[in-house]
Structure 1
Amino acid sequence: MTETKQDANAYLASEPIGRLLLKFSVPCVLSMLVSALYNIVDQIFIGQSVGYLGNAATNVVYPFTVAALALALLVGDGSAAKLSLSLGSGDKETSHKCIGNGILATVIIGLLLTVTGFLFMDQILRLFGVTEASYPYAREYMEVILLGIPFYIIASGMNAAIRADGSPAYSMFSTVIGAVLNLILDPVAIFVFHMGVRGAAIATVIGQVVSCFVTILYFRKPKSFRFSKASFLPDGRLLRQIGQLGISSFITQIAIVIVMSVSNNMIGLKGPQSIYGADIPLSVVGIVMKVFGIVIAFSVGIAVSGQPIAGYNYGAGNFKRVFDTYRHIIAANAVIGIIATLLFEFCPQVIVSLFGSESGLYNEYANMCFRIFLGGILFCCVQKASSIFLQSIGKPVKATVLSLSRDVVFLVPGVILLSMAFGVTGMLWAAPIADVLSLILTIILVSHEYKCLKRMEVRTHE
């Protein structure tokens, strides 16, 4: 039985990498894209009905949902990476335990986060920069969103484990079905039943519940392992390893929370001193960050789809194949980054118009925000993908350093300093500066890892 399970994943060491990456990346990217669209669909319909104050409100709640996603990926991506490494090295005992412990952890985290959200709702909204005008909408939206957090965390977290188990199509289905429901129910709740931001939140939660149910159904009969009672017994050592492997994904998401929190608060401080006020930049930055999330969904989706390939071959000692996988990932990310750059620089108004027709000042700031803030998106794609790659081959320290660099080390201080000096327009330049600096660090860390893998490859052939 063990031999059969081992052979079930052996194709990761033999099939052409391009074909494997395409097989895994299409459903994986679609899953990540659909996850990113959950919030942006709300923004589009709310913008068309409630207006920019409604969008400003969802922008304030958005960092909390991203924090939930960060915790989900800490466990989920860590469990998936551990599963791939375990399968590659033939460690069957660890494979079922890491997924069982992952499921248990996501359930506990989801419940704790929901309780925390209800207990400290006003404090959380203030932390993320709510204004007096947007507060009623923000509270109404968050009250409903909190009910779906446990389902959202379980579905988002264990989605990666399904991909690592060799079922990327099912992984995609479990995410897409919830998003399609959200897309259908959003306009019904908002325009037919006139429920405003509360209706958008209800549609989102229904989609999350369905995605969670479909995700859990998969684990009745996974491909590469079988659960036992021991699978769900908490294992402190294993949970630490899962956390170490998932920390890069966690930081990638939590950094968005930090950036948005800092940006929203600086907008609240400096916005009233500008011609744009505070609510226009608050709404626009939220929209831009969510569009940014769509591009990163492509970037990270491709990188995560390479995780089973890189992790399995690293565990099996096929080091040349590991870096061949990385080269394919970066080539795909370069194409994504170039397309996104052209779109944001030459036709930002097309994107802005999707979120409602607003004043000239609103459109002016929105166009400027897309062109400047997302000007270094190509470099950002390369950095994000490289961080996921380092995580997938069991290099949590380097992956963590790289994840922290762009958003926390470079971007946050840049937002604070430039907004203090040049207001809500100057702060936009913090992003492309951070993208350039983090690219330089990416080249240094990945080059060092490449040399290490080359030495390991030479030793295996001696």
Structure 2
Amino acid sequence: MEEQQNEKFQHMTQTPVPRLVCELSGPTIISMLITSFYNMADTFFVGKINTSATAAVGVVFSLMAIIQALGFTFGHGSGNYISRKLGSQEFEDAEKMAATGFFSALIAGGVLAVVGLLFLEPLTRLLGATETILPYAKQYAGFILLGAPYMTASLVLNNQLRFQGSAFYAMVGIASGAVLNIALDPLFIFVLDMGIGGAALATILSQFVSFCLLWMGCKRGGNLRIKLGNFTPTAAYFTQILKGGFPSFCRQSIASVATICLNFIAGGYGDAAIAAFSIVNRVAQFASSALIGFGQGFQPVCGFNYGAKLYSRVREAFWFCVKVALVFLIAVSVLGYAFAPQVVAVFRKGDAAVLEIGTVVLRYQCLGLPLWSWVVLCNMMLQTIGKSFSASIVALARQGLCFLPALFLLSAAFGLPGLEISQLCADIGSFIIAVPLGISTLRQMKLLKQMDAAQT
């Protein structure tokens, strides 16, 4: 076990940076693309029911964001800490954090499930469900809440595996569940005639399969074992989890709040508007999934080498990722803008209102897409090296500090056209916020390298 961990340390700190990032990001990109494709497939199959059912998926997406917020908080919080401790070769401390992050998430997911099921109708109304959407949203959310404990814990296992440099095992767990979900959706929705409840049941069953595979991945390849005896719920560990995971909590929770607000405002223009924004959100998520997967390959490189005080490798990895991501996102944005009507029509071809609104919103999203290359990777770097405050600011910027004001002000001033352009304005604002935070951190690492060189 210790020998395998030492070999992994050598690999993470000595392999040429571009090759190492590509090696680790390959499985995570595949994993993210498949997962995002599953999200679009879910919307596609539910879209065959009716517009209100499609809108319900968008409403319950906020609940999924809450579950993800818990999972990413414990997963990124523990994972960031683990990667730095493995970089400094403190293996026992890393094992305790792995267990603490996992079992804490399992408990938090269980609490969310109980509270959510007890207050199911008020919850779905709070998420933005109208009277016509409410029956579908309640059915979908009820199933999702049943799977909340292990869905939350799965996110922790996935992130811990990635931060240990075991992206392949993380990919197998996540991708297998997503592929199974795509297969189960039409079976449950149409063959077994379960409607939107079938889509939700397919989700929680496939997520459970992912959970089991991720658990098995922790027992292989020199990865840290999750043991109940290592569960250490102390203030010190929870402080580290909060420090490393708070930016993720900010990002996911504010995304949930933003989606709720968007649903409420869009609801004033009918179910078609909610359905259109829901479709565009899923398509944009798919477009950004490759970027996030690429960034997830960067994070363990960043954490290991920062922990080992190899700051030049962290800087090299960051700039390499930003340049590659920028080229990729420009290409995606051009294609998305050109074929926006065709993309939206895949999900709701027969609804002219959904097609019209969705096309405009998607084109605005594409204009801001290249800016994500800096914002996303800057956020990942800051979070991984433990700069929680700066990372939280960047995480809050896109959907909170910039989007919410734009959403309310522009929709009030210009109506639906203002609502449609609000996300682009938020992307520009978040980019302006992220640039100085990223540049100052890169300069600090350059100074740290010079100081270390002077001491030696």
Query: TM-score, length-normalised on structure 2?
Result: 0.96
1:445 and 2:444 equivalent? Answer: no
1:143 and 2:135 equivalent? Answer: no
Aligned counterpart in structure 1 of residue 394 of structure 2, from 394, 402, 406:
402
Residue 387 of structure 1 and its aligned partner are, at CA, apart by 0.2
**AA in 2 matched with 1:27:** P
Change in Cα spacing, 1:146 to 1:37, as seen in structure 2 (3 Å) is: farther
Within 5 Å, which residues of 2 pair with 1:301-312? 301-312=293-304
User: What's 2:133 paired with?
Assistant: 134
Change in Cα spacing, 1:118 to 1:227, as seen in structure 2 (3 Å) is: closer
Residue 221 of structure 1 and its aligned partner are, at CA, apart by 4.5
Shift >6 Å, 4+ stretches: none
1:236 and 2:201 equivalent? Answer: no
Within 5 Å, which residues of 2 pair with 1:381-392? 381-392=373-384
User: What's 2:45 paired with?
Assistant: 45
Residue 236 of structure 1 and its aligned partner are, at CA, apart by 2.0
User: What's 1:115 paired with?
Assistant: 114
User: What's 1:317 paired with?
Assistant: 309
Deviations 1:242-278 (A, max 9, x none): 221122222222222121111111122x42xxxxxx1
User: What's 1:290 paired with?
Assistant: 282
**AA in 1 matched with 2:419:** M
User: What's 2:403 paired with?
Assistant: 411
- 1: CA distance between counterparts of 2:158 and 2:436? 32
**AA in 2 matched with 1:375:** L
Deviates more, 1:114-123 or 1:96-105: 114-123
User: What's 1:200 paired with?
Assistant: 199
- 2: CA distance between counterparts of 1:329 and 1:255? 26
* Mapped contact 2:4–2:222 kept (Cα < 8 A): no
* Mapped contact 2:151–2:208 kept (Cα < 8 A): yes
User: What's 1:366 paired with?
Assistant: 358
**AA in 1 matched with 2:421:** W
**AA in 1 matched with 2:425:** I
1:181 and 2:183 equivalent? Answer: no
Change in Cα spacing, 1:350 to 1:422, as seen in structure 2 (3 Å) is: same
Residue 360 of structure 1 and its aligned partner are, at CA, apart by 2.4
- 2: CA distance between counterparts of 1:186 and 1:363? 24
User: What's 1:20 paired with?
Assistant: 20
- 2: CA distance between counterparts of 1:226 and 1:54? 42
- 1: CA distance between counterparts of 2:38 and 2:234? 33
**AA in 1 matched with 2:209:** V
Q: Secondary structure at the match of 1:96?
A: helix
Change in Cα spacing, 1:188 to 1:445, as seen in structure 2 (3 Å) is: same
* Mapped contact 1:129–1:265 kept (Cα < 8 A): yes
Alignment coverage as a number of residue pairs: 454
* Mapped contact 1:295–1:336 kept (Cα < 8 A): no
Percent identity, aligned pairs only, is 30
Residue 93 of structure 1 and its aligned partner are, at CA, apart by 2.3
Deviations 1:77-102 (A, max 9, x none): 12111111001112222110110101
* Mapped contact 2:298–2:321 kept (Cα < 8 A): yes
- 2: CA distance between counterparts of 1:348 and 1:214? 37
* Mapped contact 2:382–2:390 kept (Cα < 8 A): yes
User: What's 1:455 paired with?
Assistant: 447
**AA in 1 matched with 2:294:** I
Q: Secondary structure at the match of 1:223?
A: coil
Q: Secondary structure at the match of 2:367?
A: coil
- 1: CA distance between counterparts of 2:88 and 2:4? 15
Change in Cα spacing, 1:227 to 1:119, as seen in structure 2 (3 Å) is: closer
- 2: CA distance between counterparts of 1:3 and 1:171? 22
- 2: CA distance between counterparts of 1:228 and 1:52? 46
Deviations 1:43-76 (A, max 9, x none): 10111x2122110111111100111011101111
Deviates more, 1:101-110 or 1:294-303: 294-303
Instruction: Return 5+ residue gaps in structure 1 as ranges.
Output: 272-277
**AA in 1 matched with 2:94:** S
Q: Secondary structure at the match of 1:356?
A: coil
Instruction: Return 5+ residue gaps in structure 2 as ranges.
Output: none
Residue 228 of structure 1 and its aligned partner are, at CA, apart by 5.5
User: What's 1:275 paired with?
Assistant: none
- 1: CA distance between counterparts of 2:115 and 2:97? 27
Change in Cα spacing, 1:199 to 1:461, as seen in structure 2 (3 Å) is: same
RMSD value over aligned CA atoms?
Answer: 1.7
